[in-house]
Structure 1
Amino acid sequence: MKIILFIIQKEFKQIFRNKAMLPLLFVMPFMQLLILSNAASFEIKNIKIGFVNHDNSQTSYKLISKFQSVSIFSLSENFSTIKDAEASMEQGKVDVIVEIPNHLEKKLLNDNQTSLSVIINAIDGAAAGIENVYVTQVIKDFNQSIKSELVMTSFDSENKPYFNVIAIPSFWYNNTLNYKTYMVPGILVLLVTMLTLFLSGMNIVREKEIGTLEQINVTPIKKHQFIVGKLFPFWVIGLLVLTIGLLIAKIVFSIPILGNVFIIYGFAALYLMVILGIGLFISNFTETQQQSMFISWFFMVVFILMSGLFTPIESMPVWAQRITYINPIRYFVEFTRMVMLKGSDFYEVRIHFMIILAYAILVNFLAIWSYKKVN
């Protein structure tokens, strides 16, 4: 035990002696949390919309006014021809074009229906899909209001009743629909993972580069003593980064922490063992810090994209959904959102605990087994 404590003491001294390491540990992750949480948004705002109004009736102007009253739309201009509108879209000045046909009002009165042409810039397919939903909703609301006016006028004249059903939605777990409530817990998981993986992987490789690893290998230090002493400081740093990140999430972004915080720390402790084991495993097969960084970054990109942090797992192809079952980040992201936002207890996240525990045992067994020591 004394040997492990001496190695841990030596590692902490080495970490804090490196002046370039301190900003990497305690400044950059929280700057990234503040920046990414504000920048990584699913919201689409300031949609530049243009109109080609062939009707010029009171109804058509009511429709345009309906779009103007919605804050996410910013009116670009009214075009006289569809060619002018399309040219403006090609120049990037317009995102959506709504073409209002001739005799819009007359068709509504006579036939009770008509059609509009909506052109959407779909270079960004995800954004175009959201814009289409917004446009459709505005037109639907307008259609309902116009229909109500027409039907009420008709029914009033015949003394018939008119009924209108209104749906009142209730949003659970994020009643303000703030995307930061959804993103901040996931980004915090991402930062804790990246920091501990890169540092643990490069730390042991650094010993190889400067030649001290060979000296340690010929000492009476046991393999398990060396590994525990090497990785324990980064385990502590990971929990410290998580703590500060949770404080920032609560104080700066007002993210609720509805569940038991000790459950979060218990899961994080297991999860960090998984990540540190992966870092050790990578370092066993690399000779330079640059190699370790490239390999770690390769796995991180795959893990991040298939974690459900930015893209819902349910929207992925079936084969990709199956691959996510071996992605440890997926389980930490799901767990963090369940505990923080839904207030889930241990029973509800027990499957996540068991999977990460099994993952930690397997990864660390492979890492220790692959570590080569002389004695």
Structure 2
Amino acid sequence: MVIKYLIEKEFKQIARNKFLPRLIAIYPIVIIMVLPWAANLEIKNINLCVVDNNHSQYSRQLIHKVVSSGYFRLADVSSSYDEGIKSVEKGRSDIILEIPANFERDLIKEGNARLLISVNSVNGTKGMLGSAYMSYIVSDFSDDIKDRWVEPQHVTNINPKVKIVAQSRFNPHLDYKVFMIPALMVILLTVFCGFLPALNIVIEKEKGTIEQINVTPVSKFSFIIAKLIPHWIIGFFVLSICLALAALAYGLVPNGHLSTIYLLALLYVLIVSGFGQVLSNHSATMQQAMFVMFFFMMIMILLSGLFTPIHSMPHWAQTITIFNPLKYFVQIMRSVYLKGSGLADLGTQILALSIFAVFFNTWAILSYRKKSQ
């Protein structure tokens, strides 16, 4: 019965806060509806500068193919390469495509021709992907020309042609939003169930209301549980909003069972709320708790595989990710959503999260010092 009244007190405190209920309602909507469009590693609308020294039918076809691909936007047409460089230096262009004067002649007489692709690599990702897109388009243009030149009667078994058809599993349309939205749900759970508990006890320390709890016979376990349960409920409410928005706005529904998501979300919520409670126990002021939580949140997000694959990280960074609970739940959400994975397929992640849950919640209870001032 004591826990019941403590939980009621926590909900009343949340309701009295003018900002927090609005944050709980609006923040998930903003993250799910806006961030998937912004946090997209697919590079499009790359500013292209064309230096066409040939002005032939083939050069015009190549330029049209590049621009119509959707990855490039014709930003400048220069008469020389030096002018194209100036366009890049002024920030109008990101990549230069120079077509030499003998492009069509070499293509017809010799069967091959050279092009110059010059890329601004100040932004390494944009430069690398831009050159890769351009190389693929030029290669595809070359294949189209060969198909037009080779007459059907000249095609024999001695000169076979292999056609490669790529099929992408789990995300067939290579839509980056499908990859990001399940991971963003994890971030929201972390914020509401980890960040808010981290501020909970500290706020009471600053207001002095915790002294009233310290002189009561309430046990440490009851006090901690009463602090965490409201945030667990908020976390599941936020998760339900995210699931509904993903289905309504993007048509994205999990291939696995919703029960798997909610069951493992409960396990993950235990971890982040326990971790937040540990930080709150060891912080003297709200400012200190916020800075420490922000420090750990940044590291956990960057080493979770949210934006970059973990196997692409250096070995020392991959070793650190072993101790990052955020990584395991991101893997779970993406696996359930995209692959339809069940509990039997997620044994490694479940074991790791179980260990984290026991560790952080035990630490939260033991580190809380119940004493009168």
TM-score (norm 1): 0.94
| Rounded Cα–Cα distance in structure 1 between residues aligned with 2:311 and 2:148 | 41
Are residue 247 (structure 1) and residue 248 (structure 2) matched? no
Residue 149 of structure 1 and its aligned partner are, at CA, apart by 3.0
Alpha carbons 1:47, 1:72 under 8 Å: kept: yes
Residue 322 of structure 2 aligns to a residue in which SS? Answer: helix
| Rounded Cα–Cα distance in structure 2 between residues aligned with 1:340 and 1:123 | 36
Alpha carbons 2:197, 2:231 under 8 Å: kept: yes
Residue 47 of structure 2 aligns to a residue in which SS? Answer: strand
Which deviates further from its counterpart, 209-218 or 68-77? Answer: 68-77
| Rounded Cα–Cα distance in structure 1 between residues aligned with 2:121 and 2:235 | 41
Alpha carbons 1:205, 1:287 under 8 Å: kept: yes
| Rounded Cα–Cα distance in structure 2 between residues aligned with 1:37 and 1:62 | 35
Per the alignment, residue 257 of structure 1 pairs with 254
Per the alignment, residue 66 of structure 1 pairs with 65
Which deviates further from its counterpart, 322-331 or 210-219? Answer: 210-219
Per the alignment, residue 216 of structure 2 pairs with 219
Residue 74 of structure 2 aligns to a residue in which SS? Answer: strand
Q: 1:180 to 1:286 in 2, by over 3 A?
A: same
Which deviates further from its counterpart, 159-168 or 174-183? Answer: 159-168
Alpha carbons 2:53, 2:101 under 8 Å: kept: yes
Per the alignment, residue 322 of structure 1 pairs with 319
What are the superposed Cα offsets for residues 42-64 of structure 1, whole Å, 9 maximum, x if unpaired? 22221221211222333222222
Per the alignment, residue 228 of structure 1 pairs with 225
Write out aligned runs for 1:211-360 (5 A): 211-360=208-357
Structure 2 unaligned segments of length 5 or more: list them.
Answer: none
Per the alignment, residue 150 of structure 1 pairs with 149
Which letter maps to 1:45? K
| Rounded Cα–Cα distance in structure 1 between residues aligned with 2:24 and 2:68 | 47
Residue 160 of structure 1 and its aligned partner are, at CA, apart by 5.3
Moved >6 Å (runs of 4+): none
Per the alignment, residue 119 of structure 2 pairs with 120
| Rounded Cα–Cα distance in structure 2 between residues aligned with 1:202 and 1:354 | 29
Per the alignment, residue 99 of structure 1 pairs with 98
Which letter maps to 1:368? I
Residue 326 of structure 1 aligns to a residue in which SS? Answer: coil
Residue 163 of structure 1 and its aligned partner are, at CA, apart by 4.4
Give the total of aligned pairs.
370
Per the alignment, residue 53 of structure 1 pairs with 52
| Rounded Cα–Cα distance in structure 1 between residues aligned with 2:178 and 2:28 | 18
What are the superposed Cα offsets for residues 295-338 of structure 1, whole Å, 9 maximum, x if unpaired? 00000000001110011111111110111111111111110000
**What RMSD, in angstroms, separates the aligned Cα atoms of the two structures?**
1.6
Alpha carbons 1:238, 1:272 under 8 Å: kept: yes
| Rounded Cα–Cα distance in structure 2 between residues aligned with 1:63 and 1:229 | 67
Residue 267 of structure 1 and its aligned partner are, at CA, apart by 0.6
Which deviates further from its counterpart, 323-332 or 121-130? Answer: 121-130
Which deviates further from its counterpart, 363-372 or 141-150? Answer: 141-150
What are the superposed Cα offsets for residues 238-291 of structure 1, whole Å, 9 maximum, x if unpaired? 111111111111111211211011111111101111101111110111111111
Alpha carbons 1:33, 1:191 under 8 Å: kept: no
What are the superposed Cα offsets for residues 8-30 of structure 1, whole Å, 9 maximum, x if unpaired? 11111111122222112222232
Q: What is the percent sequence identity of the aligned residues?
A: 39
Residue 366 of structure 1, aligned match among 335, 360, 363: 363
Residue 250 of structure 2 aligns to a residue in which SS? Answer: coil
Alpha carbons 2:254, 2:340 under 8 Å: kept: yes
| Rounded Cα–Cα distance in structure 2 between residues aligned with 1:160 and 1:311 | 45
Per the alignment, residue 31 of structure 1 pairs with 30
Which deviates further from its counterpart, 118-127 or 134-143? Answer: 118-127
Residue 59 of structure 1 aligns to a residue in which SS? Answer: helix
Alpha carbons 2:189, 2:239 under 8 Å: kept: yes
Which letter maps to 1:367? A
| Rounded Cα–Cα distance in structure 1 between residues aligned with 2:7 and 2:326 | 27
